[in-house]
A and B are shown apart, each in its own frame.
Chain A
């Protein structure tokens, strides 16, 4: 079974703090993704990576950066958090060979910025 794990289920941070969200997958997938999910807005893509050290901006990259130093690990960095970054953050991965349509998601990190 594919497993995608995220470093925290719940986080509470103050405005201006730096946050690292880590995602690890155990299936040797090439592609990894970071989304945020908000009521009424659905899932929106922040960044994705199709290989180590490669990254592409998604629909809403402003205020975020990412790092992919190893194939199994994809980190989302919030340099200086703001209250509008309160959200559920979901990581996903997929194999280029199997079909990019099947993304495997982690359980999510609910981030609250006060």
Chain B
């Protein structure tokens, strides 16, 4: 079983919609949870990270970790066409990151 599972989508929403992206993970010992964003033909870049449980908000983006159910979520409010990208969840395991497969998001004007 992969350590991080993510539905690859694709997900298509109209501009202004609320987007919910989700991952599950297997090891309850993990403490750092990340969301990376990858635009077409570019490398991934860190969008947000959360340590342990709870919510973290940054502008239109909210990252949420529920350790009891081993669930990671990213919410995007008032989605924009510029949010169209692949979103990858990741967990830190030692030196390395374990990534989900990524969810492809398209926001249509």
Contacts and interface: CB of A to CB of B under 8 A. Distances in A.
B29 interface: no
Interface in A29-69: 31, 33, 40-45, 48, 50, 56, 58
Interface residues of A, number: 25
A4 B95 contact: no
B52 to A, nearest CB: 12
Contacts of A92: 43
A58 B96 contact: yes
Contact of B44 (A43, A45, A99, A101): A43
Given A40-B101, A106-B43, A50 B95 contact: yes
Interface of B is mostly: strand
A4 B46 contact: no
Interface in B44-101: 44-46, 49, 88, 90, 92, 95-101
Interchain residue pairs A-B with the least CB separation, the first 8: A105-B43, A42-B101, A43-B99, A101-B32, A102-B46, A101-B92, A101-B49, A105-B44
Interface of A: 4, 31, 33, 40-45, 48, 50, 56, 58, 90, 92, 99-108
7 contacts: A42-B6, A90-B44, A100-B95, A101-B34, A101-B92, A102-B46, A104-B45
